[in-house]
Amino acid sequence: MNDAHSKNALVVIWSSKDPEVAMNMVFMYCKNSKIHGWWESVKLVVWGPSAKLLSENENLQTELSYMKKEGVEILACKACADQYGVSEALKELGCKVIYMGQPLTDYLKQGLHVLTF
């Protein structure tokens, strides 16, 4: 990834198990970032307790599908998802379930903007 692109790329780490944080901050900002062109690239990383919440909450699943349609890339930490027993459920929702330690390290080294909720 070149420098120009990294300045217009956002990675959002979502780890909160609070559905209000998900709906009213994380999902809203990710979706609107793509709709309004605030960021060229937006990646949402489902990490930790948010993995279990997403696997159980139908409202969040619906919003996730809207975000995907707008072009937000959805990733989920495989280690976390496996711990909660939800890897398959997240895959069925269209999440790319992968080990995230190295990708996150790469994003940081490439200078991508990273937000954590």
List pLDDT tens digits, range 13-49.
999 999 999 999 999 999 999 999 999 999 999 999 9
Confidence of residue 5 (pLDDT cuts 50, 70, 90): low
pLDDT at position 88 is 98
How far is residue 84's CA from residue 51's CA, in Å, rounded to a whole number?
Answer: 7
Domain that holds residue 92: 9-116
pLDDT at position 80 is 97
13 lies in a domain?
yes
φ, ψ dihedrals at 106, nearest 5°: -65, -45
Tokens linked to 76: 């989920």
pLDDT at position 6 is 73
Is 1's pLDDT higher than 50? no
1 lies in a domain?
no
pLDDT at position 54 is 98
3 lies in a domain?
no
- Per DSSP bridges, beta strands 41-46 and 113-116 are unpaired
How far is residue 48's CA from residue 32's CA, in Å, rounded to a whole number?
Answer: 24
The CATH number of the domain holding residue 24 is 3.40.1260.10
pLDDT at position 116 is 96
pLDDT-above-90 percentage for the chain: 94
4 lies in a domain?
no
2 lies in a domain?
no
Query: How many domains would you assign to the chain?
Result: 1
